């Protein structure tokens, strides 16, 4: 059972990172612009995109606001 949870978390991390990458690409904004708006470093943005780390909920909210998308878009929530 534990292994399944880890796989699920890994899959979720991948989905979130892919969606962050897609929203950044769709926005036409640079990583530097986004990093400055969020108050994080450029490498942090790269880590969000690669899935190495995930933004906190507060940072995710700022990211969505800056990119003009919803958290549902990033988290792949079906309505």
Residue-level pLDDT at 48 = 96
Q: Are 79 and 54 in contact (CB under 8 A)?
A: no
Q: Where are the domains of the chain?
A: 2-74
CA 44 – CA 30 distance, rounded (Å): 13
Name the CATH code of domain 2-74 (choices 1.10.260.40, 3.40.50.10090, 3.20.20.80, 3.90.1150.10): 1.10.260.40
Residue-level pLDDT at 60 = 96
Spans of the chain below 70 pLDDT:
1-7, 78-79
State residue 29 phi and psi, 5-degree precision. -90, 150
CA 49 – CA 19 distance, rounded (Å): 8
Residue-level pLDDT at 77 = 73
CA 31 – CA 8 distance, rounded (Å): 28
């Amino acid at each position: 059972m534990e292994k399944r949870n880890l796989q699920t978390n890994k899959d979720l991390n991948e989905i979130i990172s892919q969606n962050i990458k897609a929203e950044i690409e769709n926005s036409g904004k640079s990583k530097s612009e986004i990093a400055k708006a969020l108050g994080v470093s450029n490498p942090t943005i790269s880590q969000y995109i690669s899935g190495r780390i995930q933004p906190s909920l507060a940072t995710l909210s700022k990211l969505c606001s800056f990119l003009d998308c919803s958290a549902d878009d990033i988290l792949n929530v079906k309505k």
